[in-house]
Amino acid sequence: MSIVYLFTTAVHTSVLGALMTMARSPWYPRYASRSAAFGLTPLGDQALAGMIMWIPASIAYLIAALLIVRRWLGDSDLEVRRREQLGFAVSSH
C-alpha cells in the first residue's frame, strides 16, 4: 500500500504544482503584498511556489519510491533464498 499512497501523493502534488506554475492570475490575492518584500510579483511568487512543489517534491517522491522498490527486491531475494534452503533441506533427507 505504501507505493499506492506515495504515487497518489506524488501525482496530486505534481499536478497542483504545475497548475500553480502556469496559472495566469494569483490564486491567493491576500498574500500579494507579501511577495514584494522578496522582489517578486504575486504571480512570480506563485510560479516559484508551484515549481518548488512540482520539481523538487517530485524528485523526493521518486527517491522514496526507488527505496521502497529496493526494499521489496531485497525482501523478495531473501524469501527466494529461504525457500531454496528449505527445499534443499527437505529433499536431502
The total of other beta-carbon atoms located within 10 Å of residue 68's CB is: 13
Higher pLDDT, 45 or 82: 45
| Range 15-24 average pLDDT | 94
Task: Tell me what pLDDT residue 31 has.
Answer: 83
Full-model pTM: 0.65
Domain ranges of the chain: 2-91
Burial class (CB in 10 A: 0-12, 13-18, 19+), 17: buried
Kindly calculate the radius of gyration of the chain based on its CA atoms and give it in whole angstroms: 23
Task: Tell me what pLDDT residue 2 has.
Answer: 80
CA distance 90 to 86: 6
Tens of pLDDT, residues 65-92: 899 888 888 877 777 788 778 776 555 5
Task: Give me 12's grid cell.
Answer: 496530486
